[in-house]
Amino acid sequence: MKAFSNSNSSTNKDPFKLGDAYSEWFSAVSKNPDKSMEDGMKFWQKSMQLSQQMFSSAVAREGQEKPEPVIVEEKGDRRFKHEDWSAKPTFSLIKQSYLMTSEWMRGLVTDVEGLDEHTAEKVKFFTERYLDAMSPTNFAATNPAVVEKIIDGQMEKGQFLNSDITFREIQRIKKVLKKKLNNMYHLRVEYPE
């Protein structure tokens, strides 16, 4: 272990000097906490709106109009073109959470007073790369197009032929569960004592 440690001690683990850049950024942000607190409040308010929207979607009756999204992707963003990003509440929540967090992080690294231009650009650039890397479209479990391809491929190969439960039964279970959730929020009946 010591040999491994010694052999890697000379390697530069921060060739872009990001530690220094983000330290300078944090120092500048700390001197003017009003902007970051304002950005945090906006993020919190949108998070509450999104929570309320998702709860409303979960208990909505069939055919009921869906609420407008709290945040939408920028025009030309092709990552979220699959219809399930808007049609399915789970994927909509994932997408909107990502977009809100991205917007918040961009706000934190933009227009920071007391930061030299080169460091500010470096922090913005690498924050943007981080946000791109963390997009839910980059992960199989959170990308509806990938999930759809996996299921279609498994169906084509007949991998569900021997399963104990059918897709028809899964659909029936979903309908029953949705009905139970809808009925859970009715007015309570007062019973005589």
- Contact present, 92 and 86 (Cβ < 8 Å): yes
Residue 121 lies in a domain: yes
* d(C-alpha 30, C-alpha 23), whole Å: 10
- Domain containing 148: what range? 28-184
Angstrom distance (rounded) from CA 98 to CA 80: 11
Q: How does residue 186 score in pLDDT terms, banded at 50, 70 and 90?
A: very low
27: CB partners within 8 A, 6+ apart:
114
What total number of domains does the chain contain? Answer: 1
Domain membership flag for residue 63: yes
- 72-122 per-position pLDDT tens digit: 999 999 999 999 999 888 899 999 999 999 999 999 999 999 999 999 999
- Assess if residue 90 is contained within a domain: yes
- Asked if residue 22 is part of any domain, the answer here is no
The Cα 50–Cα 44 span in angstroms is 10
First to last CA, the chain: 74
Residue 3 lies in a domain: no
> Confidence class of residue 148 from pLDDT cuts 50, 70 and 90?
confident
pLDDT confidence of residue 181:
55
Maximum pairwise Cα distance, the chain: 80
- The yes-or-no verdict on residue 174 having pLDDT over 70 is no
Domain contains 112: yes
The confidence score (pLDDT) of residue 26 equals: 96
